[in-house]
């Protein structure tokens, strides 16, 4: 028996935990979350790629805060891949751009998200309800994948057929189409 091979029967009845099995299960988890949008490259400070995994309309925003009368939230699950070590990105990093966004409505936001959740590594995201997340002071590391929920307050019933995820400071210049928005 070679020194690097595990014993033929370790007495454990649990799933295979060899590095190859762990790597392949991580790849399966990554494959399950296929973005519905193209990848948006953010070239400024905190350079990263971001894609929309899913999008929906909801009456609840960050921390389950109800939307004010005549408004609702568009909620996005974003997949973030840093290109350099960076501080955690804020809700001002992205926005949902759509033709109906009313800049004169004081309740809604057109140029930034209304809030974001804590960042989750892929492992934390797939562990669901573990309560773990990337610490507030921790950096996002290049080569890792992170997930974050983001909400933007919009007027109820807004036409989101042409909605795009945009770099927050690009004023509609650096965007990708979101795709289907449920609800």
- 8 A C-beta contact, residue 80 and residue 141: no
- 8 A C-beta contact, residue 39 and residue 178: no
- Separation of alpha carbons 20 and 61, rounded Å: 40
Tell me the domains of the chain and their CATH numbers.
35-177 (2.60.40)
- Report the mean per-residue pLDDT for the chain: 80
**For the whole model, what pTM was predicted?**
0.78
Quick: pLDDT tens for 72-118.
Answer: 999 999 999 999 999 999 998 999 999 888 778 777 778 789 999 99
Q: What pLDDT does residue 77 have?
A: 96
- In the chain the beta strands, taken as DSSP E runs, fall at 40-42, 48-58, 71-82, 94-97, 115-116, 120-121, 146-155, 164-167, 175-177
Residue 138 pLDDT more than 90? no
Quick: pLDDT tens for 5-19.
Answer: 333 333 333 333 333
Q: What pLDDT does residue 104 have?
A: 80
DSSP 11: S
- Higher pLDDT: 32 or 159? It is 159
- Separation of alpha carbons 75 and 151, rounded Å: 4
């Amino acid at each position: 028996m070679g020194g690097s091979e595990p014993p033929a029967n370790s007495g454990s009845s649990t799933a295979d935990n060899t590095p190859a099995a762990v790597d392949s299960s991580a790849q399966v988890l990554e494959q399950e979350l296929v973005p519905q949008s193209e990848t948006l490259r953010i070239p400024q400070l905190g350079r990263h790629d971001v894609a929309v995994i899913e999008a929906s309309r909801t009456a609840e925003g960050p921390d389950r805060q109800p939307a004010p009368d005549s408004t609702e939230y568009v909620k996005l699950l974003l997949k973030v891949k840093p290109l350099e070590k960076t501080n955690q990105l804020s809700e001002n990093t992205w926005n949902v751009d759509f033709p109906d966004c009313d800049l004169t409505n004081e309740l809604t936001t057109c140029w930034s998200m209304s809030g974001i959740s804590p960042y989750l590594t892929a492992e934390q995201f797939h562990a669901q309800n573990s309560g773990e997340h990337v610490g507030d002071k921790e950096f996002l590391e290049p080569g890792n994948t992170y997930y974050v929920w983001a909400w933007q307050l919009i007027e109820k019933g807004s036409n989101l057929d042409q909605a795009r995820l945009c770099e927050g400071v690009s004023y509609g210049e650096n965007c990708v189409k979101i795709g289907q928005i449920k609800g």
